[in-house]
A and B are shown apart, each in its own frame.
Chain A
Amino acid sequence: MIDSNDAQRKIHVPILTRVEGEGSLLVKIDGNVVRDVQLAIYEPPRLFEAMLRGRPFDDVADFTARICGICPIAYQMTAVQALENAMGVSVSPEIRKLRRLMYCGEWIESHVLHMHLLHAPDFFSCDSGIELARRFPDEVKRGLRMKKFGNRLLEVLGGRAIHPVNLAVGGYYRLPRREELAALIPDFEWALQAAIETAKWVAQFPFPDFQVNYDYVALSHPDEYAIIDGRVICSDGMDIAIEDYEQHFVEEQVPHSTALQSHRIPGRRPYFVGPLARVNLSRHQLSPSAQRVADEIGWETPCHNPYKGIVARALEVIHAFEEGLEILRSYRPTGEARTKFEVCEGHGTSVTEAPRGLIYHRYHTGADGKIIFAKIVPPTSQNQAQIESDLHRMLPGILSSEDDKIALQCERLIRNYDPCISCSTHFLKLRIERS
């Protein structure tokens, strides 16, 4: 919606589309100066941290899944791991593998959804993935099929793809049977090739020239492409243990948003999380095919163009199918589905790599296994400050455009981050006010 008059121009994008959740953006422009950029997440607050207090610890995975229907595994996994840390529970290597496998399923489902249905339409001026499918029927259908296999994996491991039910503190409620997983192998074999083709396709998209030297933050693990554990590192050299996360990052409330915003301390610096950060920091640990394709498409590391996040996603999809395939092939159910443990009082934290970036949980459990305190830092709240800063950077260059073009440009930029707004425990609309 555009209201303009000479004295004052206001641009609203009342609902930011093709993002999960809802939010809005307000841009205040004074002549040629961008006065303020406010990414407002008006997802009605759902107050998860408060709801968890007093609940049995087994509820946490089921409850936090409901923060976001797009990446429930990220919430569940971070929650159960933090609780395991709180109560001193360790899981077997087999369980850890299954958990990586499950996370691969979510990366696939979420990345492929974002790439094909939400993000790619931007590069071809389409309104939706469905419209894009008229232009690129084979590519979109291929994407949908890959997504289906990601979801199918989640269905086998979790019972259903959205809010799965199987992940438990100490492991799983039930281990999958070997045949259940083995049945997915042919689909994953197809999908790995499809993912490679897809990466080559998206690598040729017309990317705007936009370069920012970000502070990339991601998990890092000595032996593998980090997903569910490791240390938190930054492109500027920071390297910290997960337990120390809160000493380096702070969440702040801003008046215009129901989501909290994260900054690095000291200095209130914004930072960048997500696939681009991960690939930039750990390219060498991607699966062999993902690395080969990165080479083939001439992927520069580090890559400072946020629009190319879609390529980083594509590389991660290759990785997820390839690593997934390996686990599917080698899987033999062994040991207990769920490690036995004593419920006890404790403090525990965990960080994992949600599809759209770092996610942090901290819990305090009581001796009765009830939750005393919960803290959840989702990826979108971490990228939010960075998005505002990007907009500040981009806007002066395009101020001469029509308001609706500006609005479109801003939305595109925001979509690079695949912001999952419902998960900022929290909605987007764009408003440009010129005075």
Chain B
Amino acid sequence: MTKRPTLAVMKFASCDGCQLTLLDAEDELLAVAEAVHISHFAEASSRLEPGPYDVALVEGSITTPEDRHRLLKLRAESKFLVTIGACATAGGVQALRNFADHQEFMRSVYARPDYIETLATSTPISSHVKVDFELRGCPIDKHQLLEVIASLVAGHRPRTSTESVCQPCKRRGTVCVVVARRVPCLGPVTQAGCGSICPAYDRGCYGCFGPSHQPNLPSMTQRLVSNGMDTADSALFLQSFNTYSPAFSHESQRLWQIAGRPQKLHPSLMTVEHSHSSQMEADHD
């Protein structure tokens, strides 16, 4: 076998749950430590080695100028960068601020918001640097994480399914909660990966793996509404852990418009495409 790849686990704004997923792989953890060289994983080890890294697993979203700089450095040091989880992939639940009055948000939590340097937005890693692979989920799924690690160890390009949550739901024999009980469920427009847990626990999927490929959100939300949810609540339903994913963000804004309470996206994000692409170019020089 060739040299073990070096692995770094890095964190930005997040709850630590996605990196914990690695520590929660109790049966595989010691094997992972054999298969890869863990060179930076602050949550698990005091030995923090500098880059370059073969693989960086990145958790969390970018919410402070300092984090943005840390990320740029990490990208420069990493060959293959994988975002793990909804925060890194879509901005996380904290991206709700992108649609709100940030100053007011800060004031409601901190008496002296001026002590804290923070961006008014929470943006995914891909808004700042090139991302090589995304692992969805809030939190990510252990099996998917191990699959990605195994693929990278073997030198294969990782791959995860893009099917909808409904498919594992049906394969595990769960009775559809929408059809049998009129429970609101985002399964049909959400990417699979979690194992379709929620419907198996008698509740609707809340979309923590983010939008599926080509989701038909207008049809989905029309169904939510015809099944009794009001338009504003349907918008809120899409605005959780992947609120800033393009598909959910776009549809929730449309719904707020209909509900007569249009939300304002933070001005800096209006041009995000711009800064995004120029950023990627900068990184590739």
Contact = CB atoms under 8 A, between A and B. Distances in A.
Interface of A: 15-22, 42-51, 53-56, 59, 62-63, 66-70, 72, 109, 113, 117-118, 121, 127-131, 133, 140-141, 144-145, 147-148, 151, 158-163, 165-166, 168, 173-174, 252-255, 258, 260, 337, 411, 420, 422-423, 425
Given A18-B44, A46-B13, A337 B94 contact: no
Contact of B138 (A55, A66, A67): A66
Contacts of B118: 44-45, 258
B182 to A, nearest CB: 15
B18 A69 contact: yes
A422 B87 CA distance: 13
Interface in B86-125: 92-94, 96-97, 100, 104-106, 108-112, 115-116, 118, 122
Interface stretch (B128-136, B233-241, B245-253, B271-279): B233-241
Given A55-B236, A68-B16, A144-B27, 4 more contacts: A45-B63, A46-B93, A130-B30, A145-B26
A182 B175 CA distance: 24
Interface stretch (B73-81, B146-154, B195-203, B214-222): B195-203
B197 A160 contact: yes
B176 interface: no
Nearest to A168: B203
For this complex, into which size category does the number of interface residues on chain B fall?
35 or more
Nearest to B18: A69
Between B21, B60, B66, B139, the greatest number of chain A beta carbons within 10 A of the residue's beta carbon is seen for B139
8 contacts: A22-B11, A69-B20, A70-B16, A109-B24, A117-B44, A147-B26, A160-B195, A168-B203
Given A51-B96, A130-B44, A162-B21, A44 B67 contact: yes
B24 A51 contact: no
Contacts of A68: 15-17
Given A62-B206, A165-B201, A128 B47 contact: yes
Nearest to B112: A253
A162 B12 contact: no
A151 B94 contact: no
A71 B195 CA distance: 22
B63 A44 contact: yes
A1 to B, nearest CB: 10
B190 to A, nearest CB: 13
Contacts of A422: 14-16
Given A17-B43, A22-B11, A162-B24, A62 B240 contact: yes
Between B24, B64, B110, B197, the greatest number of chain A beta carbons within 10 A of the residue's beta carbon is seen for B24
A45 B110 contact: yes
A42 B60 CA distance: 14
A48 B15 CA distance: 11
A44 B64 contact: yes
A253 B138 contact: no
A63 B109 CA distance: 16
Question: A-B pairs with the 9 shortest C-beta distances?
Answer: A69-B17, A128-B45, A159-B197, A44-B13, A148-B26, A127-B47, A174-B202, A50-B105, A144-B26
Contact of A159 (B46, B60, B201): B201
Contacts of A161: 24
A165 B41 CA distance: 28
B44 A163 contact: no
B94 A46 contact: yes
Nearest to A110: B20
Contact of A69 (B15, B66, B97, B195): B15
A422 B197 CA distance: 25
B13 A69 contact: no
B194 A160 contact: yes
Contacts of B259: none
Interface string B20-38: 1101101101100100001
Contacts of A253: 110-112, 115
Contacts of B138: 66, 163
B208 interface: yes
Contact of B45 (A18, A43, A252, A420): A18
Contact of B42 (A15, A113, A129): A15
Contacts of B41: 128
Given A20-B43, A72-B17, A163 B139 contact: yes
B258 interface: no
Nearest to B67: A44
B46 A17 contact: yes
Given A70-B20, A113-B23, A51 B48 contact: no
A366 B280 CA distance: 45
B26 A50 contact: no
Contact of A21 (B16, B111, B236, B240): B16
A417 B138 CA distance: 27
A147 B241 CA distance: 27
B266 to A, nearest CB: 13
Nearest to A143: B26
Contact of A50 (B109, B195, B236): B109
